[in-house]
């Protein structure tokens, strides 16, 4: 593997010595050669700092790292989550009755049918509140993947939402609960508790508060009709007062950040209905087929994963911005933060040795055009080069005047400006043509010049519909998988989440008034400060 990595380092050094302007000037067919299409999606890689020779070297690394073999092992249900001894089969959840034969996979279809039937009955008014009336609102209580996926998807597919209004509570900060429920009527609200084990502290704290909110308005008997759960802990859900008919399970081979495809997607199904939820699954399934069957050189998730490694290890990018020029994808960057950073934020290989190269970059972003008026200054003229993924719909759901044309023009302009910039010579010529004095040109030209040479990938789709959202999520899932395969890390555990949880449990008695005896000086000082502030705060 070392010669392949060394070859890539050489290509990186070579391409750092040229510019995107030069690469486009030298190859008029660059867009055609460095863009890929499948049904419902086009991805343009031509503004990445890469060429055919570098891409060939990346593909050679993918062959040597056995990306295809690792992909096939995942599909076959092998326990590729090595530290937990689990299969990784979220792909099976979007293909019920399909090619997957691992233990439990055949249960996916019946579970899907069951929670979709519940969603349809709720939407139709067949599942009723304790007084026999319709539910108008649903609160989904979860955290992490049990919240980020459904919350992102419900917002993304708002044009298709014709069921009860769906709200989300995740943060254990009580403000989240208070602000969400302030305008809701308990008599018209269903609460869904989303926790596989029914033990997650934030979720169960909020769930207990929600149950108390229902009981205060409806009584113990009435509250039960307003509760449902997605969990495998039937004993705990029964003790909580949830009847078995309203508990929907999923499996340990579907990790939290992939769980939108399972019964965790119930809030989305309630919002958009079973038919559109199945279209969402079908979009993900279409991307799965492409990932399984397309040659590596034509495989969009594989190329995106290779570009991700190239950005990180050859171009030195420690940060990546995701900018959807699609307001309803406002939560998509946050969703990808968990997907990529929880998966690939690892410092040891699958065998436990320290990694040889940097792994996952920081992922962040906001929708355009808002982002242009906040952090795009840094993207264009900052000292660090930060690659960008742009997402753009060809057609708007809401054809309001020329809004979408202006949105599209801004997206294309930002990608062009990042890639090609504006040289100081061009700035000087432009200012001189406007009659500005030479001394003023000398003073301002360095400030008004743009280095360009800032890479981006553009993803274009016809319209953000359920199938398209499914394709996009599955694409980034597989991209993340490919990066992990290349870095030889386990993308499917998250031990880094656990230490903070354990420490929080041990600190809770001290926060509630216990005496700190064996804590470090900083923690002890902070606890004392908090107690003092609480004693003087009205």
Residue 71 near residue 477 (C-beta atoms within 8 A): no
Catalytic residue among 373, 447, 512, 515: 373
Catalytic residue among 106, 406, 416, 501: 501
- Chain position carrying tokens 């990784």: 88
Residue 61 near residue 307 (C-beta atoms within 8 A): no
Residues linked to residue 228 through DSSP beta bridges, in sequence order: 192
- Give the gyration radius of the chain's Cα atoms: 26
* Peptide bond preceding 369 in cis form (omega within 30 of 0): yes
**Known catalytic residue at 501:** yes
Catalytic residue among 48, 120, 202, 342: 342
Name the nearest CA neighbour of 287 among 65, 40, 98.
40
Phi, psi of 130 (to 5 degrees): -60, -25
In Å, how far from its chain's centre is CA 368?
A: 17
Sheet order of strands, 319-325 included: 35-38, 41-44, 456-461, 388-393, 319-325, 362-364
SS3 201: helix
Name the nearest CA neighbour of 119 among 152, 177, 161, 180.
161
- How far apart, in whole angstroms, are the C-alpha atoms of residue 191 and residue 263? 15
Residue 124: which residues within 8 A CB-CB, separation 6 or more? Answer: none
* Cα angle 9-11-17, degrees, rounded to a multiple of 5: 105
**Known catalytic residue at 342:** yes
- How far apart, in whole angstroms, are the C-alpha atoms of residue 213 and residue 413? 50
Structure tokens at 132: 């026999």
Alpha carbon of 478 to those of 201, 355, 439, 460: distances in Å?
A: 30, 21, 54, 18
Structure tokens at 111: 């579970």
- How far apart, in whole angstroms, are the C-alpha atoms of residue 456 and residue 237? 47
Q: Which residues are catalytic?
A: 342, 373, 501
């Amino acid at each position: 593997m070392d010669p392949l990595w060394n070859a890539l380092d050489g290509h990186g050094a070579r391409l750092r010595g040229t510019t995107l302007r030069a690469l486009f000037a030298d190859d008029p067919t660059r867009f055609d050669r460095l863009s890929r299409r499948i049904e419902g999606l086009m991805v343009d890689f031509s503004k990445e700092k890469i060429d055919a020779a570098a891409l060939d070297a990346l593909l050679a690394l993918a062959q040597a790292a056995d990306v295809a073999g690792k992909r096939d092992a995942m599909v076959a249900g092998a326990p590729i989550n090595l530290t937990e001894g689990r299969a990784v089969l979220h792909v099976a959840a979007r293909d019920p009755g399909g090619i997957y034969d691992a233990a439990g996979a055949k249960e996916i279809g019946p579970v899907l049918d069951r929670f979709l039937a519940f969603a349809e009955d709720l939407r139709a008014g067949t599942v009723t509140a304790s007084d026999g009336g319709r539910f108008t609102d649903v609160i989904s209580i979860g955290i992490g993947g049990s919240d980020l996926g459904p919350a992102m998807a419900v917002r993304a597919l708002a044009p298709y939402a014709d069921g009860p209004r769906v709200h989300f509570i995740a943060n254990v900060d009580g403000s989240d609960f208070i602000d969400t429920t302030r305008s809701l009527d308990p008599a018209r609200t269903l609460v869904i508790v989303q926790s596989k084990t029914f033990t997650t502290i934030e979720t169960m704290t909020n769930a207990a508060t929600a149950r108390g909110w229902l009981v205060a308005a409806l009584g113990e008997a009435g509250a039960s009709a307003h509760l449902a759960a997605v969990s495998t802990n039937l004993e705990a859900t029964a003790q909580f007062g949830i009847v078995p008919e309203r508990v929907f399970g999923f499996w340990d081979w579907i990790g939290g950040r992939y769980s939108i495809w399972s019964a965790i997607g119930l809030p989305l199904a309630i919002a958009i209905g079973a038919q559109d939820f199945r279209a969402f699954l079908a979009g993900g399934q279409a991307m799965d087929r492409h990932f399984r069957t397309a040659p590596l050189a034509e495989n969009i998730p594989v190329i995106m994963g290779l570009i991700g490694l190239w950005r990180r290890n050859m171009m030195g990018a420690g940060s990546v911005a995701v900018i959807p020029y699609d307001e309803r994808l406002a939560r998509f960057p946050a969703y990808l933060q968990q997907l990529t950073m929880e998966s690939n934020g690892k410092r040891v290989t699958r065998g436990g040795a320290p990694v040889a190269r940097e792994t996952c970059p920081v992922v962040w972003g906001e929708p355009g055009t808002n982002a242009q008026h906040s952090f795009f200054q840094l993207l264009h003229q900052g000292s660090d080069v930060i690659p960008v993924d742009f997402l753009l719909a060809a057609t708007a759901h809401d054809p309001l005047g020329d809004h979408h044309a202006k949105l599209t023009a801004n997206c294309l302009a930002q990608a062009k400006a990042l890639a090609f910039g504006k040289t100081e010579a061009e700035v000087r010529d432009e200012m001189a043509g406007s009659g500005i004095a030479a001394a003023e040109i000398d003073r301002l030209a360095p400030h008004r010049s743009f280095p360009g040479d800032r890479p981006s990938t553009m993803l274009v789709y016809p319209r953000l519909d359920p199938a398209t959202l499914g394709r996009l999520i599955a694409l980034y899932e597989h991209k993340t998988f490919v990066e992990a395969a290349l870095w030889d890390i386990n993308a499917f555990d998250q031990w880094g989440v656990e230490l903070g949880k354990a420490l929080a449990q041990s600190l809770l008695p001290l926060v509630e008034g216990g005496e700190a005896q064996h804590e470090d000086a900083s923690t002890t000082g902070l606890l004392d400060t908090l107690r003092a502030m609480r004693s003087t705060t009205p």
